[in-house]
Amino acid sequence: MTANLLPHPASRETDAVESTEAASKRSYDRQIAWAVTMVAVIAVFTAAYYARAILLPTALAVMLNLALKPLVLRLERSGVPPAVSAGVIIVFALGLAVAATALVWQPAKEWVRELPAARGEIAAKLKPLRDPVESISDASEEVEKIAKGDEDAGPVRVQLEQPGIASSLLNTSTAVLAAGAIVVVLLYFLLATGDGFLSKLVELSPTWRDKRNVVALAGEIQQAVSHYLLTISLINIGLGTAIGTGMWMIGLPNPVLWGVMACLFNYIPFVGAVAGAGIVFAVALLEFDLGTAALAPTVYLGVNLVEANFITPTLLGRSTSLNPVAIVLSLTLWGWMWGIGGVFLAIPILVVVKIACDHIDSLQPVGRLLEAQSGKSQVESAP
């Protein structure tokens, strides 16, 4: 009786085969899903590269919309229609941008005009640092000549004549003005229409759970990006003020220009601080000897270190903690695809991607990969 209740050996073998086939099918489905995902990602980045003339101002307008939306909502609660509040905010922002540009335009233009003539003076003051490097380079060239021996002259070099600087600046200015117009117009309609676009996305979602996820995802993205952009902007203004004051104290001309530059460069993590320190060092070499000129980059990097290691982590916390490797890769990728505009947008885009991954079950491992490993690895604006 008991023997009849036991499964037949052939039945156990059949179950094992079916279980193996099911596991194999699941593995195959996962591989297909990953392959389709990779193809989709490559297609998206390819489209983003070739359509950058449209997508870059569109992405900038969307990010500014996320940052300024809380102001529109606050004015709307006070009885101001969204169309009016959007116009007021954009006009106020453009006024600030024009005022800041007018403040630094003249000293920046003079500095750019004097730069070609100043190269020789900068090179002369850097000669004590360049001599050891040049000695090694000269020795390397001599060794290379000895190794090659007497050889016939190489092929004739043909140098293509590049367009003039004036032509390049004209083309660049036209493109910047066109992109700026797209940003302003699109930003106004995004702010003025309120949550109309989000309502359309909710209507397209098939189930109640999907509708709830869309609303939750949009709300968290807006809150996180708005908090990040507004907080980092206030931090950068403070940093620019501190650096401008430091340049004034050491006697560097046009301290307002260098303060504004520091504020803008600090939107670019890691690279911005190094580039800014190099520029103020070059300017300081025109005014002081090598030892005194070294104070300018020292002050610049010192203020950045304090901001990056104490102020920014305290104010931003872990809400936007990102892996430093992911930050560098994002800066490289978007900088290569969209230029300087992509560099400024790289971190906000990375924040949006991380939040979206955290809300989608199948992409949560990607979200954990983008997250900083410890509380000390925060989104920083300097090394």
Q: Return the pLDDT at 248.
A: 95
pLDDT in tens, 265-320: 998 888 889 999 999 998 898 888 888 889 999 999 999 999 988 888 888 765 56
d(CA 85, CA 71): 8
pLDDT in tens, 117-175: 777 767 776 766 665 555 566 555 655 666 555 444 455 555 545 554 444 444 566 77
**Mean pLDDT computed over 224-248:** 90
* CA angle, residues 262, 306, 374, in degrees to nearest 5: 115
Q: How confident is the model at residue 101 (pLDDT cuts 50, 70, 90)?
A: confident
Which residue type sits at 130?
R
Q: Which two tokens mark 34?
A: 């990953």
Cα four-point dihedral sign 342, 100, 255, 168: positive
Q: Which two tokens mark 258?
A: 């260098």
Q: Return the pLDDT at 382.
A: 39
Which residue type sits at 41?
V
**Burial of residue 271 (number of CB atoms within 10 Å: 0-12, 13-18, 19+):** middle
Query: Taking the model in full, what pTM does it have?
Result: 0.73
d(CA 367, CA 33): 18
What is the phi-psi region of residue 339: left when phi exceeds 0, alpha when psi lies from -120 to 50, beta otherwise? Answer: left
- CA within 13 Å, CB half, 137: 5
Q: 83: closest CA among 203, 191, 10, 217?
A: 191
